[in-house]
A and B are shown apart, each in its own frame.
Chain A
Amino acid sequence: MKRIIASLAVCAAASAITATSAFAADQITGAGATFPYPVYSKWAQSYNKETGVQLNYQAIGSGGGIKQIKANTVDFGASDKPLTPKELSKAGLMQFPTVMGGIVPILNVKGIKPGELVLDGKTIANIYLGKIKHWNNKEIQALNPGVKLPDSRISVVHRADGSGTTFNFTYYLADVSPAWKKDVGVDASVQWPVGTGGKGNQGVSNYVSQLKNSIGYVEYAYALQNKLTYARMKNKDGKVVSPAMENFQAAAAGADWKHAKGFYLILANQPGAKSWPMTAATFILLHKDVKDPKATKAVLKFFDWAYKNGDQAAAKLDYVPFPASVKTLIRDAWKKDLKADGHSVYMGS
């Protein structure tokens, strides 16, 4: 009996210690988009080393991020699908962008090397509409004279979960293809006419690397990390561009964040000879009426740190960091929008 009591006491003491240490070590919890997950986890790692603060980010998809922050179960939500100013004010949220990145078409066709195949928006739309069924279709062949394409069926892979990557992808397809706009539309999840659904950017990468003759779309970092075959694309100016940092940057250069209300801005199909057509920003969502100032302060501190020290890490993963002018706009918005009992939560860096 004595031994049982002793061991119980030890257990209680141990749990008390872990409980207090969890409180002491300041945790930030966030959930949402899988698109920026590689760069957020990189930032979190360095931030933890410097400050001891831990970021617990769950990449559950943008739809999940929006849902979780609305339900107030996390300190911040993350989404690549920006909410419209109307949606924001209805939910009492504010949003700000963190980094930009590119969505790339990935494929798995025997004999085709990374960057060898060229696609344009209309062709991708027709593949995803089920109108183009075979790889050696005239439309694809016309874009790729000299490339030997097989006579095999295309396996289309899309996202199964609600996803900001899907939102930006379908936004672009609707922009270039009236048929897509009419039949499918734009959202974080849509009614796909054809294809197989993978969960998250990683799920789509897995399926494409496994299924022969497949095509999918993922954030560029996932294509790189999984060594997938990506395609080049013909942009709005009719120029063929590769998915690369400088081309994402070219697309982002024309963006007018200053006049974008609530930072609602979509970077798809931007003009410019070097612009990558499927460029997208990714966003963080916070409650305007701050209930837990300590938690929100910790979130702002983290992103403030990331804006100051995280550009290089982001660029290494081929995300495009924001220029200083946009970062100033974001910090101003923090000061203006985030209030606890009428006082600004953000006190400047």
Chain B
Amino acid sequence: MTLVNNRTKAHDETAGEFQRPPRFLNGEAFNKTFKWLSIGAALFVLMILGGFFVSLTIGAWPALKQFGFGFIWSSDWNPVTEKFGALPAIAGTLITSGIAILLAVPLAFAIAVYITQLAPKWLRHPLGIAIELLAAIPSIIYGMWGLFFFAPMFADYVQGPIINLFENVPVLSTIFEGPAIGIGMATAGIVLAVMILPFIASVMRDVIDTVPKRLKESGFAIGATDWEVTKAIIIPHCRTGLAGSIFLGLGRALGETMAVTFIIGNANRITASIFAPGNTIASTIANEFQEAYTEIHSSSLIALGLLLFIITFIVLAIARMMLNRIST
């Protein structure tokens, strides 16, 4: 109500004569200051980014010097012999994030399509808000839910039967091998999927909302079904945005720490089984940084941090490249 009142009032005032804003907000001097302030702010972000990279590299230097590039593909993580390699953590990070994306993307897309296209009008708004609230749940809550509720259920009703089912099938018996303990890389991937689902879904919803109404209506007018409109009009029209939303989710999954540390099982090993406990880069750092009392151990952890930084960077760069190719 007040909003409307203000607007009419402002309208009344400007109706007579155009009111100049106060001089100091308009002057040439202010304009210059404003310009430099914005440039400074933009540069500041770049400086922080560069600063991160430099300080991580300095911290990681002892490890990089000692292990060289072997650090990336060595699967040792042995504080006794002081030999450290990042491969188990890198593999764990990529596998859990991969599982998360595989599960979350189709679900998120279905949710977004339902909210924007199919749901009755009165349901759209509350549903959208519910999804956004899901994104506001702190990750530690997901971790606790994963450990105390999801993991035991997953072990009893999913892992156990799957392990027994594929016991004698080659390949599958290795992928689904091990005791059904409920915590491990598969669990971490699934919980991550739930965590990134709202992010992807709400961005996808906004993206799909940008599809012009006349395009969709022309589709329906020539007799296309909901699915045909989705496939032939919505997806092609906003491929860019959809891919962007997926990479946004991937970015979050790669760096997620607390929830994963709770449920991944914290084991620095590479196994073929996705039910086995593993470790991600972030969870290794979270577990060991405080206790690493030899220089080479802390330095190796910082090197892991540097790797995560670089991996995330590469993912976003690939995303950019893909987006550019799609839009041209």
Contacts and interface: CB of A to CB of B under 8 A. Distances in A.
- The answer to whether A and B assemble together is yes
Interface of A: 60-64, 66-67, 70, 152-155, 160-163, 184-192, 194-199, 207, 210-214
Interface string B67-92: 00000000011111100000000000
Given A63-B291, A162-B288, A195 B267 contact: yes
Given A63-B291, A196-B181, A207-B183, 13 more contacts: A63-B290, A64-B293, A67-B292, A160-B288, A161-B290, A187-B79, A187-B80, A189-B79, A195-B277, A197-B267, A210-B148, A212-B180, A212-B181
B179 A213 contact: yes
A192 B269 CA distance: 8
Given A187-B80, A195-B277, A197-B277, A161 B291 contact: yes
Interface string B270-304: 00000001000000000110111100000000000
Chain A at the B interface: mostly helix, strand, loop or mixed? loop
Given A153-B178, A191-B268, A161 B288 contact: yes
Interface of B: 76-81, 147-148, 151-152, 155, 178-184, 261, 265-269, 277, 287-288, 290-293
A52 B76 CA distance: 49
Chain B at the A interface: mostly helix, strand, loop or mixed? loop
B81 A152 contact: no
Contacts of A162: 79, 288, 291-293
Contact of B291 (A60, A191, A197): A60
B181 A192 contact: no
B88 to A, nearest CB: 10
B165 to A, nearest CB: 16
A190 B77 CA distance: 8
B265 A63 contact: no
Given A66-B293, A153-B179, A199 B287 contact: yes
Given A187-B80, A191-B77, A155 B293 contact: no
B149 to A, nearest CB: 11
Contacts of A192: 267-269
25 contacts: A61-B290, A62-B291, A64-B291, A152-B179, A161-B287, A161-B288, A161-B290, A161-B291, A162-B293, A163-B291, A188-B293, A189-B79, A190-B78, A190-B80, A191-B78, A191-B80, A192-B267, A192-B269, A194-B267, A195-B277, A196-B184, A210-B147, A210-B182, A212-B155, A212-B180
A186 B293 contact: no
Contact of A197 (B80, B179, B266, B290): B266
A184 B80 contact: yes
A86 to B, nearest CB: 14
A181 to B, nearest CB: 11
Contact of B293 (A70, A153, A196, A199): A70
Contacts of B261: 199
A293 to B, nearest CB: 26
Contacts of B147: 210
Contacts of B77: 191
Nearest to A189: B79
Contact of A188 (B79, B178, B183, B266): B79
Given A192-B267, A196-B181, A185 B291 contact: no
Given A152-B179, A187-B79, A214-B181, A67 B266 contact: no
B275 to A, nearest CB: 11
Contact of A196 (B148, B266, B288, B290): B266
A70 B292 CA distance: 12
A118 to B, nearest CB: 22
A155 B78 contact: no
Contacts of A63: 290-293
A196 B277 contact: yes
Nearest to B177: A153
A65 to B, nearest CB: 9
A154 to B, nearest CB: 7
A186 B81 CA distance: 10
Contacts of B292: 63, 67, 162
A19 B171 CA distance: 64
Contacts of A61: 290-291
Interface centre among A191, A192, A198, by most chain B C-beta atoms within 10 angstroms, is: A191
Contacts of A195: 267, 277
Given A189-B288, A195-B277, A211 B181 contact: yes
A185 B80 contact: yes
Given A67-B292, A211-B182, A197 B265 contact: yes
Contact of A186 (B80, B155, B288): B80
Nearest to A66: B293
Contacts of B293: 63-64, 66-67, 70, 162, 188
Among all A-B residue pairs, the 4 with the closest Cβ atoms: A197-B266, A63-B291, A162-B291, A153-B179
Given A60-B290, A63-B291, A184-B80, A154 B179 contact: yes
Contacts of A198: 266
A171 to B, nearest CB: 12
A191 B292 CA distance: 14
Contacts of B152: 210
Nearest to B83: A191
A70 B265 CA distance: 30
Contacts of B267: 192, 194-197
B161 to A, nearest CB: 15
A207 B266 CA distance: 12
A196 B80 contact: no
Contacts of B148: 210
A153 to B, nearest CB: 4
Contacts of A213: 179
B42 to A, nearest CB: 34
A243 B227 CA distance: 67
Contacts of A197: 265-267, 277, 287
A167 to B, nearest CB: 10
B291 A189 contact: yes
Interface centre among B182, B268, B290, B293, by most chain A C-beta atoms within 10 angstroms, is: B293
B266 A160 contact: yes
